[in-house]
Amino acid sequence: MEKKEIQNITSIGIVLIFITLSFFVLKGVLISILAGVLLGFIFLPLYNFFQKKIKNKNLSASLVCVIIIVGIILPLWFSIPIVLKQSIEVFISSQNIDFVSPLKSIFPGIFSSPDVASEIGRMIHSFVTNITSGAMNAVSALLLQLPLILLNLLVTFFIFFYVLRDNNEFVSYIKSVLPFSKDLETKIFKSSKDITFSIIYGQMIVGLLQGIIVGIGFFIFGVPNALFFTILAIIAGILPIIGATVVWIPLAIYLFLQGQFVAVLGLIVFGLIGSFFENSVKPLIIYKRTNVHPVVILLGMIGGVYFLGFIGFILGPLILAYLLIVLEVYRDKKTPGIFLQNPPK
């Protein structure tokens, strides 16, 4: 083995050792770092807007951070106790709701047997109890981890600020260390940008809007514990394929059984408006810039949560989408020059 080869292997080994050590050093805050980078990408257009007007990187990045804190973090902070209280109320009230009697009047033939009626009632109560108790446990766990969450938020905003301020240097550095040919580098960055934009804005933002629209209907038409169900609708709206319909349709059925027909009609109207965003606006954003299948996004979200926690909800689909980019490169047979910064002519 030549001396130059030994030097190359030694250099690679040293780099790998320090990468491994750095990973263990940053392991505790790795999710916060990734969250800060993602927030930087999401709010980069807002930063660029301020930067064009102000011409000051520090001030522009600070303004974006203040907007995020005032517009998102503080409302979440004050809404968590309310959501916890309402989740407990939903859990308690679900134990006392008589689901069988209204169904008996609508479907007398099915509920003619007392044994059948009792079994169906037990199944419905078990289903509702599992859902409400699961949601309540999730909120309780969130409150118990509040000190750790605050520390992670501090790290996230620290990274977020510098990703905004130094975004050009950040991208240039990543490009400088990628061992790819220039053509492949350009392709990867463009595809990555399109996929990230589609998943974050198409899936996350549109899903958030869908849940909020349905939630407005909950508040207007007096749905009990409206904030709790709005949070559920937002989460369901972000999930691909599922959507907020899994929240508002059962509530509409419940109100119908209670005889609140005006509220049912109102929920249907707001639900259909939310479905318009789900079925019209979201596909325009996602499929206009990329062809990532909804199943890929759904599997990425579920697997990402298991692997990375809450931030995996966003990172999971991105990781799978980036894998598709690599597979596309192989499919197009562009691999011979994949690791050449300056491929031979």
Q: Note the pLDDT tens digit of each residue in 294-316.
A: 777 778 878 887 887 767 777 78
The predicted structure's pLDDT at residue 131: 66
Q: Which residue has the higher pLDDT, 63 or 179?
A: 63
- The stretch 250-270 carries a mean pLDDT of 87
Q: Which range among 49-58, 202-211, 322-331 has the greatest average pLDDT?
A: 49-58
Please tell me the predicted confidence (pLDDT) of residue 343. 43
Based on the fold, state whether residues 267 and 215 are members of the same structural domain. Answer: yes
**What is the count of structural domains for the chain?**
2
Residue 244 sits in which domain range?
181-333
Q: Angle at the Cα of 74 (from 73 to 80), degrees rounded to 5?
A: 90
Angle at which helices 3-26 and 30-42 pack, to 10 degrees?
90
Residue with tokens 């479907």: 107
My answer on whether 329 and 185 are in the same domain is yes
Identify the residue with better confidence: 137 or 38.
38
Percent of the chain with pLDDT over 70: 73
Query: In the listed set 165, 195, 219, which residue is the last one of a domain according to the structure?
Result: 165
Query: Rounded to an integer, what distance in angstroms lies between the CA atom of residue 31 and that of residue 234?
Result: 22
pLDDT range class, residue 216, cuts 50, 70, 90:
very high
pLDDT at 282 over 80: no
Per-residue pLDDT at 291 exceeds 70:
no
pLDDT of residue 27: 83
- Would 110 be classed as within a structural domain? yes
d(CA 80, CA 256): 29
Residue of higher predicted confidence among 199 and 142: 199
Q: Are residues 161 and 261 in the same domain?
A: no
Instruction: Provide the pLDDT confidence category of residue 207 given band limits of 50, 70 and 90.
Output: confident
Alpha carbon distances (Å) from 299 to 30, 117, 312? 22, 38, 11
Would you state the pLDDT for residue 302?
Answer: 81
Given a cut of 80, is residue 334 above it in pLDDT? no
Mean pLDDT of 67-87: 74
Do 146 and 225 sit in the same domain of this protein? Answer: no
Instruction: Give pLDDT, residue 344.
Output: 42
What integer pLDDT is reported at residue 185 of this predicted model?
74
| Boundary (domain end) residue, out of 125, 141, 165 | 165
- One domain for residues 264 and 195: yes
Task: Give the chain's mean pLDDT.
Answer: 77
Same domain? For 242 and 326 the reply is yes
What's the pLDDT band for 327 if we cut at 50, 70, 90? confident
Tell me: pLDDT of 342 over 60. no
Tell which wins on pLDDT, 209 or 281.
209
Lowest average pLDDT, out of 81-85, 161-165, 213-217, goes to 81-85
